Amino acid sequence: MKAMRILIANRGEIAVRIIRTVKDMGLIAIAVYSEADRNSLATRLADEAVYIGPSEPARSYLNIDAIIEACKTAKADAVHPGYGFLSENEAFARALEDNDIVFIGPTPATIAAMGSKIEARKIMEASGVPVVPGNNDLPDDPSAIKAIASDIGYPVLVKASAGGGGRGMRLIEEEKDLMEGIESAQREAGSAFGNDKVFLEKYIVQPRHIEIQVFGDGRGNCIHLFERECSIQRRHQKIIEESPSAALNDTVRASITEAALKAA
């Protein structure tokens, strides 16, 4: 049987690790590279390598057309995106699907749904998965918004539905600052993400940032790979991730991993 040809749409250490795994599985690893990475370890380790453009990521690793063309050139059966770059890009996943190339990751519909925090909250609520208290559809009337925030209970967070990294987010501790905080968050979100939609959520004081990694086979079967402790952050960006989390006991660990599988 012909070995499956996997194109790795990434660079650096991420690409190297995927290439090694692909080759260990007896499959063919195809690297892509920009001008800056022409002599990189990834290109030397891969079975094949395809040039995708200049050093600027926007013209190479973020260039969907260039990646699709590389897939066609290399006759790739599937693409592993790694993380970052196009790994959470609905348009990229859909472009691969349109060209009958397997995307080793979520479906375009799943990426789109999870790309909107508001839609993600609605899906989780409908599935019976616990979510932080909040409101998904803010009205236009300031009095109604203030009533919603009061029901949630201060302090509250104004959060952008799109994007991440702490942008489009404001902590509101008193009602007098609410409307100004919403308008400020909307301006920042609109500028950063092209989408100024925001929502309110209860602010959790001194939380732990725990993530559960879930792996599915595309046929409804999912497993979790336990938790990642991501609480050490600077400006809403994770500095270190480690596992297991020293903050979880077995009861809490079982509860959140079960919720993650239910969400998936």
Q: Which residue has the higher pLDDT, 133 or 165?
A: 133
Phi, psi of 127, rounded to the nearest 5 degrees: -90, 0
Question: What are the structural domains of the chain?
Answer: 5-112 (3.40.50.20), 116-202 (3.30.1490.20), 210-263 (no CATH)
Structure tokens at 51: 């040039």
Residue 230: how many CB atoms within 10 A of its CB?
Answer: 17
Assign 199 a pLDDT band (cuts: 50, 70, 90): very high
Please state the rounded mean pLDDT for residues 223-228. 96
CA distances from 103 to 6, 29, 100, 230, 251 (A): 10, 15, 9, 27, 35
3-state secondary structure 122-136: HHHHHCCCCCCCEEC
pTM of the full structure: 0.80
* C-alpha triplet 210, 160, 164: angle, nearest 5°: 50
Assign 113 a pLDDT band (cuts: 50, 70, 90): confident
The pLDDT tens digits for 11-66 are: 999 999 999 999 999 999 999 999 999 999 999 999 999 999 999 998 999 999 99
Is residue 1 scored above 80 in pLDDT? no
Measured between alpha carbons, how far is 167 from 160 in angstroms, rounded to an integer? 7
Is residue 237 scored above 90 in pLDDT? no
Is residue 108 scored above 90 in pLDDT? yes
Task: Judge whether 86 and 67 are in contact, CB under 8 Å.
Answer: yes
